[in-house]
Structure 1
Amino acid sequence: MTDQRFIGRIAGVGTTSGTRFVVGMWRESPLGGITDVMVETPEGRRILLAPSVEAADFIAATYTFDEVRVLDVAWRKIAGGLRVTAGSAPVRTASTGSAPVGAPPVGSPPAADVLDLRLAVGPVSALGMLLRAVPRGLATRPGWLRLIDPVARILVPGSATAGTAGGGRREFYGVTLARRVSSLEARFEGQDLGALARLWPPVRFGFGSAPAAPSLVDVTTTIR
């Protein structure tokens, strides 16, 4: 067995239009520092926005999507929160084998023709306070996450800490801190998606969803 770890943050939010987002902002991963966005539309269409063919192939082998797009995806801090963008580089599916889309020149503003998502991030949530009570070294261990999974599914409906992923893999989510997302501005494919809403119904990319309460969590994801 080989464990592959993604260390960073996940933002999970809904919108009043019904579109829901799960954004992975990974400072460490087998693919390097990357950002990916999983989108589920009100009609239930599941879309992956990935920054390279390599990332798209890996993520699509672990989760389920109806469409995979390879294009420039990035995030950065802004006053009071963060901004996630996906640019209008040529859309390519992960199966084409085309070379990854190159990053924009250093210092240039991120393109946002496909997605522009701005999140206002608030204080540590009640869930975050509870998570602080668990030692970080324990909180990310697969054995611990398997043990507490039944409790996590009850305490945070729609979420899970352990389960079966695609390609014969198992996956473990070790969340160590949670903050509230208090508001958003979101445009996807030129459409204004409205105001912040609960991430409900749960997204259907894998065995679990992000919490229904809009949140930004510090997480270590282990794929075995």
Structure 2
Amino acid sequence: MPGRVTGYAWGVGSERLTFDGWIAAVGTRSGTRVVVGHWPRSPFGPFSDVMLERADGWRTLLAPTAGVAEYVGGVYHFDEVLKAPVGVHRRDGVWEVAAGPLELCFRVGRRRALGLALRAVPRPLARLPLWAALADGPARVLTGVRTRGSSRPGCRQWYAAGDLWPIVTARASFGGSDLGPLAPVLPPVRFGFASAPASPSLVRVLSTVERDVP
């Protein structure tokens, strides 16, 4: 399986999987925050998934297959997991997402200074856990997010961002109800060890998850 690295010590092994793609995060006036993962390259093949947190704190995962639902649900925290087709279509800076009861369309603006700086980081360097450790401090200061951490015992994660665009407009509905216009991603989402930037953003990212296995 591509992206998998397995090693063993003292009877415990580690499974390392990498996911190469994009993460988009938007807030809405209703208080619902939506995080979309679009992964053209992953150990599960190309797929997209959606994490959604309502204003009352209820967290939902929308996943396209049982395998993706089981894996993502085992790494992050949700109150419910729904298996539903998740489609992503992008053209000319506009992204359209259809995931079960969710409909989302957003447009990205021109990249800014931080996006240009991230593009300048060599990809081989960005893939290293050491780079995630070095970038963690500046990322907290500049965007309020973390680049490494742990969402569950025996699970370690790190992110390498390779580009960033602001999301300038969005419209979303869930179950046919309009979620309202674009708003900051606040309060922070609580799926894992880190939230998304408060400013709605699209990030080109390499996500690595390492878990202990028997």
What TM-score results when the alignment is normalised by the length of structure 1? 0.84
Work out the percentage of aligned pairs sharing the same amino acid: 46
In structure 1, list runs of 5 or more residues that go unmatched: 88-113
Q: Which residue of 2 aligns with 1:15?
A: 28
Aligned counterpart, 2:107: 120
Aligned length: 197
Runs of 4+ in 1 over 4 A off after TM superposition: none
- CA-atom RMSD, angstroms? 1.3
Q: Which residue of 1 aligns with 2:180?
A: 194
How far off its partner does 1:137 sit?
A: 1.6
1:1-224 matches, cutoff 5 A: 1-87=14-100, 114-157=101-144, 159-166=145-152, 168-224=154-210
Distance 1:130 1:122 in 2: 16
Structure 1 residue 125: deviation in Å? Answer: 2.5
Give the SS at the match of 1:137.
helix
Find the aligned partners of 1:131 and 1:122 in 2 and give their Cα distance: 16
Query: What TM-score do you get using the length of structure 2 for normalisation?
Result: 0.88
SS at match of 1:3: strand
Aligned amino acid, residue 155 of structure 1: L
- Cα offset, 1:78, TM superposition: 4.2
| Structure 2 residue ranges without an equivalent (≥5) | 1-13
Pick the structure with more strand per residue: 2
Query: Within 2, Cα distance between the matches of 1:21 and 1:11?
Result: 8
* Residue 80 of structure 1, CA deviation: 3.9
